[in-house]
Amino acid sequence: MRDPASTTGGDPVSVPGSDPVPVTGRDPVSVTPAAAELIRSLRGQHGPLMFHQSGGCCDGSAPMCYPAGEFRTGGSDVRLASLVVAGVPEPVEFWISASQWELWKHTTLTVDVVPGRGSGFSLEAPEGVRFLIRSHLTPP
Amino acid sequence: MTRYDAPTHWQSRYDHFIGGEYVKPHHGRYFANPTPVTGQNFCEVARGTAEDVEKALDAAHGAADAWGRTPVAERALILNRIADRMQENLESLAIAETWENGKPVRETLAADIPLAIDHFRYFAGAIRAQEGSLGELDDDTVAYHFHEPLGVVGQIIPWNFPILMATWKLAPALAAGNAVVLKPAEQTPASIHYWLSLVADLLPPGVVNIVNGFGVEAGKPLASSPRVAKVAFTGETTTGRLIMQYASEHIRPVTLELGGKSPNIFFDDVSASRDDFFDKALEGFTMFALNQGEVCTCPSRALIQQGHYADFLAAAVDRTRAVRQGHPLDTETMIGAQASNDQLEKILSYLDIGRQEGAKVLTGGSRADLGGDLSGGYYVEPTIFEGHNSMRIFQEEIFGPVVSVTSFADLSDAVKIANDTLYGLGAGVWTRDMNTAYRAGRAIQAGRVWTNCYHAYPAHAAFGGYKQSGIGRENHKMMLEHYQQTKNLLVSYSPKKLGFF
């Protein structure tokens, strides 16, 4: 599940009031085929989706998947990507807080999925799986 | 050395505990609960939904008024009796907690359960000692301030110390006279029910209600319900923000504990002598492995002053290599299993990015296979990385037995690195010079600065975060006020009118 998938992130977009996302020549977020399959399944059950990358304790560092609009983003957030996933009618926005992105921006993120129990209010937990971020240094 | 047998006191299935009795989940669904020790399932647990949360809120609202009017002496007595029952069953509670969470039994025997027992006793005492106030505004006018319970509160518990973290939230809420609907973590849903089997008869029905289930199915209906007066949550930042967003819809308070990336600072004079203090400081360094690193205040950044950097670090690597990894029910075991498979995978992903960023692995760095039954469990070697503070392994809470080490030049450099983080929950300062200790402790932006100690969690010492680490202070009588309203009666004792009308 480690290889980046054919599905990729769209152009990084900066939000007024937050730091602009540097254009690196490579998508900042991609998804593995297994993650794409799970996104399709969750889209079928819950409608349009979004991600917000968490930080901190316990299940921090996990990407949280919600129905689109469930988590209210604001000026303190950066939209890293609008993920285009085959079989999902609309792009899936991927967000992170601007302060956290400042510390992560030298890396490229891949959304993967592993067996697990999950936590937080992320939609996939009852399926017995958990979205997981794998990170790679972004080539200069 | 003692090696306990796997606990057998589990029920095969746990329902929700609502209104003083066990109630089946509305949709009749359950989920399997594995032990991280072996990865094998040992019971199944009700998969709660909004309907179950509503039923629990009904029970809590039915009980809250009478509980809030119960004399504090009686509430305190019940908390003390809960503590007594736990004391009588300390060993079986410790074994249950180890099987549930994967942590070594010597920690649950010596820390988790004794701390939980003392916590109930502390808040039993604190509520007896709490008084309102009065202000004598003038000869005829008095302002009285009363503490009143909030009513029904929601509590969402993390998986790293299932019984102790539930206690941190339950004890002050109950002491203050609130009824509670509590959702345990889905990774560790069972040990709280074993605890409940020991104490349920002490509590009036409906005062404590436990709804199990997944965050999205049971936690969200609880956190977003207009029927709770306050939500307490320990976890991560995105869920913390989401809970604040729900709270904003109803204009009600939250307390949040959202983690950290705690610096542990070792000044040169620590190495001035090879004495007990030096030995204690090395233990302080190795505290990153306590509870497998699954602690919000894990000392996961070690800052070592340049003058003794190489020698101290070499001694710290030796101390870390001496950490015994083994069966969590063996009293000689120092580090057990990570709590879940996804937690294991996350830690491994950080070991990967740490190497990619050029951090040097001084010891550990891999998953551990302990053989036999334990091969299916979730074990990670205690790991020391050497690198610099801008690396992601220095900035993110890995929540595993992983410490990232760097050096500093002087006090101001140490403080600068220590504060270069989004979080501010805990910190450690080690020095023989009390002036340095004081200056560093006051300058570090964190709610708790352990000074010449680490990872002590006594009741009576306030615990909570600066910055993105959260809101509120647990472990202290000030937490009572996070579960109380202030009622002001402004009373005039004058029969004379003001003269306006």
Q: What is the DSSP letter of B38?
A: T
- pLDDT tens-digit profile of B362-411? 999 999 999 999 999 999 999 999 999 999 999 999 999 999 999 999 99
A134 touches chain B (CB under 8 A): yes
Specify whether the CB–CB gap between B362 and B347 falls below 8 A: no
Contacts of A62 in chain B (CB under 8 A): 236, 342, 346
Kindly tell me if the per-residue pLDDT of A24 is higher than 50: no
**pTM of the complete model:** 0.94
- pLDDT tens-digit profile of B159-203? 999 999 999 999 999 999 999 999 999 999 999 999 999 999 999
Least CB-CB distance to B349: which of A97, A126, A132?
A132
Kindly tell me if the per-residue pLDDT of A1 is higher than 90: no
Q: How many CB atoms lie within 10 A of CB B322?
A: 11
Q: What is the maximal distance between C-alpha atoms in chain A?
A: 40
CA atoms within 13 A on the CB side of B173: 30
- pLDDT tens-digit profile of B415-463? 999 999 999 999 999 999 999 999 999 999 999 999 999 999 999 999 9
Q: Provide mean pLDDT across the span B197-222.
A: 98
Specify whether the CB–CB gap between A17 and A99 falls below 8 A: no
Q: How confident is the model at residue A56 (pLDDT cuts 50, 70, 90)?
A: confident
pLDDT at A54: 94
Contact assignment for A132 to B31 by CB distance below 8 Å: no
- pLDDT tens-digit profile of B47-98? 999 999 999 999 999 999 999 999 999 999 999 999 999 999 999 999 999 9
Contact assignment for A58 to B158 by CB distance below 8 Å: yes
pLDDT at A26: 64
Task: Identify the closest residue of chain B to A116 by CA–CA distance.
Answer: B342
Amino acid at B350: Y
Q: Above pLDDT 70, what percent of chain B?
A: 100
Task: Record the tokens describing residue B478, joined without a space.
Answer: 């000030």
pLDDT at A59: 80
Contacts of A108 in chain B (CB under 8 A): none
Mean pLDDT (chain B) is 97
Contact assignment for A71 to B241 by CB distance below 8 Å: yes
pLDDT at A57: 79
Point out the least confidently predicted range of A9-23, B115-129, B161-175, B347-361.
A9-23
- pLDDT tens-digit profile of B120-129? 999 999 999 9
Q: What 3-state DSSP class applies to B479?
A: helix
pLDDT at B413: 98
Kindly tell me if the per-residue pLDDT of A9 is higher than 90: no
pLDDT at A27: 84
In whole angstroms, give the CA distance from residue B152 to residue B207: 9
B330 closest CA partner among B80, B501, B105, B15: B105
In whole angstroms, give the CA distance from residue B417 to residue B389: 7
pLDDT at A12: 41
In whole angstroms, give the CA distance from residue B285 to residue B201: 43
Q: Provide mean pLDDT across the span B131-148.
A: 98
Least CB-CB distance to B214: which of A59, A70, A125?
A125
Q: Provide mean pLDDT across the span B100-119.
A: 98
B221 closest CA partner among B48, B470, B22, B28: B48
Q: Ramachandran region of residue B262, left (φ > 0), alpha (ψ -120 to 50) or beta?
A: beta
In whole angstroms, give the CA distance from residue B162 to residue B108: 11
Least CB-CB distance to B399: which of A58, A133, A136?
A58
Active-site residue set of B: 257, 296
